[in-house]
Chain A
Amino acid sequence: MDGELLPLTALRPGRRGRIVTISVGRGKARRLMELGLLPGEIVQVTSNSAGPVVLRTKGMTLALGRNVASRIWVEVVQ
């Protein structure tokens, strides 16, 4: 559904989402933002099963543990 709000862990492989909020501790938030995971940024999930969520952003492939991925909320985009 377009515009639907989901945690990254709920985004199926191949789907894209625009980051809305990142609710993690200060140090970790800085690390994620410096890697390009900023609110407004569009990410594409390439793998999402039992393990870490793998996504592409800014021409880089990132693996995020499920705990941190579940704290990143995205708005589904086409």
Chain B
Amino acid sequence: MRDILVALSGSPNVGKSTLFNRITGGDVHVANWPGVTLQRAEGRVQHHGITLRIVDLPGTYSLSAQDVGERIAREFIVRERPDVLVIVLDATSLEKSLYFALMALELHHKAVIALNMMDAAEKRGIHVDVDGLASKLGVPVVPVSALKGVGVGALLDRILDVAQGKIRTSPLRVDYDGLEPFIHRIQRLIESKGALSRYPSRWAAIRLLEGDEPLMEELMHQDPDLAREVKALRERAGLELGEDPERIAISSRYSLIDDIVRSTVIQVRLAAPSLAERLDEVMLHPVMGPLVSVLLILLTFFLIFAVNTGFPLNLIFANLGYDELARMIEEFSISGILGSLFDWLSSLITKWLISAGYSGWPVGLISDGIIGSLGTLASFVFLLLIAYVFLGAMQDSGLFPRAAVSLDNLFRKFGLSGRAFFPAVLGMGCSVAAVVSTRAMDDDRERMVAAMASPLIPCQARLLVLLALASAAFADPLKQSALTVSIYLLSFALYLLISKLLNWLVFKVEYAPDLVMELPPYHRPSLRVVWWYARSNTEHFMRKAGMLIFVVGVATWFLLNFGPSGYLTGSKISESYAALLGSLLTPVTSLIGLPDWRYALAFEVGFFAKEGFLITFSSIAGVADPVQAIRIVGITPLKAVSMALAMNYYVPCLATVAALFSELRIGKYVLLTIALEIVLALMLAGAVYWTGVLLLGLS
């Protein structure tokens, strides 16, 4: 028997992704929807010997094709005609999730409803008449708890029943009241002309009356005369009924929803103000809200950075005089452990290769080039995974959306809305994630501005470089902390200021877009959901940038170890291709006090991945520890500050540039972003360096 195609759909915050992961149990392939960076997850599951292919559609409130997510979901349903459309509803708030269900069932009635969060609903005194709901909607309804895995088997049974025709479903009919005569007219018109034949004709007629632009364009393309006739009918409907047809249509759907909810949901009132209400009093308080939000982000990243790099715990203990403890924290951080692991691996393999009779460049290539690059890759995986675990927990708990609301006022002053909070926070984990997250913004201008400004926020790779520079140049841990923290504060200020500048100069708008955002209910983060979130995001990143990081690592090894005279032995690195390439850029790095091909080369390699700075220094100095390597290459405190500033802002890394291209889709804006960052880096680093040299007599 052939595979059964199942599409999973529903509004945001109904637990759709959790259900998807629960059904597929990890056998998932993540890719992008054609032409956009929106993630497309697809999984397979066997049920009673039959393979179900499950595609997770973007979570949307409607199917009006108003934004990318809605367009993708609708196009998929119409073009692929899934054997079964699973519509996920939230039993704790049926009213809100039913709107999507109605839109979906009008379009495609071979469907099954997964009534999610039934357990939570019962706890809150909400009882849903499952059979009643099924008969109102004309499709089977299966109560499930995606979080606990209850009801998934029954859901798969019903999916097979519908796919194999054992259960017959019927199209949902919404009563559109005064619009009905017009719907019939348009339906007959398009049927007789055979237009828009890939859609159900009644659905197409309603959508055309509602002023669905993509659909109208399609009709215009097929039959311009018919399109004009339909437009005239739409105008007549508006005049005759004295109201916008769109509003009548949406109202009609909501009155059906009211009717369904009245007859199938019984809510027993529960006393006592819930924890959620008390939490909201704090989170949405005009003064406490922003304060608590900022503390929350600090705490989140305190945890992420401490686990990953030891910062800021290492510096705190070093400041208090516990050097030994500080060193241990660093050694046992994720990047510390991975660093020593790969050093050990590299020396082990070197010994083994030499004892096996190998010598010369193949030994170096394998033990340094390949193992070293794999080490970089492994550290990326863990840094991202840990960051996503903590960020996923904050997201899942419902706290982050509140933080975005409470910071809305601050962001508005810079022509952004509270939504600009998400890229800024994700940017501390990885700039690629930050750029991709702007997809969720519904204001086009805000989306572009936030995408262009978000690479200014230091990602974790840059944090590692920053920490190494600070430790190499300053003995005093207080000064190390001061440098690191100032770069972060400066970056956030720049994120806002550059956004303001872009709004003003490029987009010539100064007002901030309106925030319209759903606040999902608070709940204790589920480990399983957080893990799925972290894993799928990390996998997505590795698929995009993993190979690149590895290849660039190996290529850098070749450039450093080969020169015009062939393989270089000993300390002849100054005769390498790398030195030649580096010297090309030295005129520019001289402007910020770094007239040395080795620094210039670090900037070149750093474009491919910001950790390239550390790899370059380690390779040049011939030691694994990047702090020691930077000291060997030689750096003064002033040069370290100049380099830290320049490194942070000079250009987004290659993977981020690629993400910017696919998000902005306007090359001019990507180039502008890069140019802006180069100018910013040269100005800031140059100003600091020359102030130090000329006014303070530093070097």
Contacts and interface: CB of A to CB of B under 8 A. Distances in A.
B405 A38 contact: no
A52 B405 contact: yes
Interface string A11-44: 0000000000000000110111111101111000
Interface in B247-302: 247, 250-251, 254, 277, 280-281, 284-286, 289
Contact of A49 (B286, B401, B417, B517): B286
Contacts, number: 109
Nearest to B443: A28
Contacts of B519: 54, 61-63
B246 A67 contact: no
A3 interface: no
A54 B516 contact: no
Contact of A36 (B64, B92, B99, B512): B99
A23 to B, nearest CB: 13
Interface in B432-451: 442
Given A51-B408, A52-B408, A61 B247 contact: no
B284 A47 contact: yes
A31 B250 CA distance: 10
B503 to A, nearest CB: 16
Given A38-B250, A61-B519, A65-B408, A27 B95 contact: no
B284 A62 contact: no
Interface in A54-71: 54, 58-65, 67-68
B178 interface: no
B418 interface: yes
A38 B253 CA distance: 11
Interface string B225-237: 0000000000000
A51 B96 contact: no
B246 A30 contact: yes
Contacts of B95: 36, 58-60
A47 B93 CA distance: 20
B405 A63 contact: yes
Interface string B105-147: 0000000000000000000000000000000000000000000
Nearest to B99: A34
Contact of B247 (A33, A47, A50): A33
A33 B406 CA distance: 24
Contacts of A34: 61-62, 64, 99, 250
Contacts of B94: 59
B3 interface: no
B418 A52 contact: yes
B630 to A, nearest CB: 45
B518 interface: yes
B284 A30 contact: no
Greatest chain B CB density within 10 A among A40, A52, A54, A58 is at A52
Contact of B409 (A32, A51, A54, A60): A51
Nearest to A71: B514
B66 interface: yes
Greatest chain B CB density within 10 A among A39, A41, A51, A58 is at A51
Nearest to B405: A63
B521 interface: yes
Contacts of A62: 516-519
A7 B521 CA distance: 26
B172 interface: no
Nearest to B246: A30
Contacts of A31: 61, 66, 442, 516
A30 B66 contact: yes
B515 interface: yes
Contacts of A51: 284, 286, 289, 405-406, 408-409, 418
A41 to B, nearest CB: 8
Greatest chain B CB density within 10 A among A47, A62, A67 is at A47
Contacts of B514: 28, 64-65, 67-68
Contacts of B520: 61
A61 B519 CA distance: 5
Contacts of B250: 30, 33-34, 38
A6 B406 CA distance: 24
A36 B250 CA distance: 9
A45 to B, nearest CB: 11
A60 to B, nearest CB: 4
A60 B517 CA distance: 10
Nearest to A40: B251
A49 B285 contact: yes
Contact of B64 (A30, A49, A58, A61): A30
20 contacts: A30-B64, A34-B250, A35-B96, A36-B254, A38-B251, A40-B251, A47-B281, A49-B286, A50-B409, A51-B286, A51-B408, A52-B418, A58-B93, A59-B92, A59-B93, A62-B518, A63-B408, A63-B516, A63-B519, A67-B511
Give 5 nearest A-B pairs by CB, closest first.
A59-B93, A65-B514, A65-B515, A49-B286, A47-B284
Interface of A: 27-28, 30-36, 38-41, 46-47, 49-52, 54, 58-65, 67-68
Interface of B: 61-62, 64, 66, 92-96, 99, 246-247, 250-251, 254, 277, 280-281, 284-286, 289, 401, 405-406, 408-409, 412, 417-418, 442, 511-521
Given A50-B409, A62-B519, 13 more contacts: A31-B66, A32-B516, A38-B247, A39-B247, A47-B280, A47-B281, A52-B515, A54-B519, A59-B95, A61-B518, A61-B519, A64-B514, A64-B515
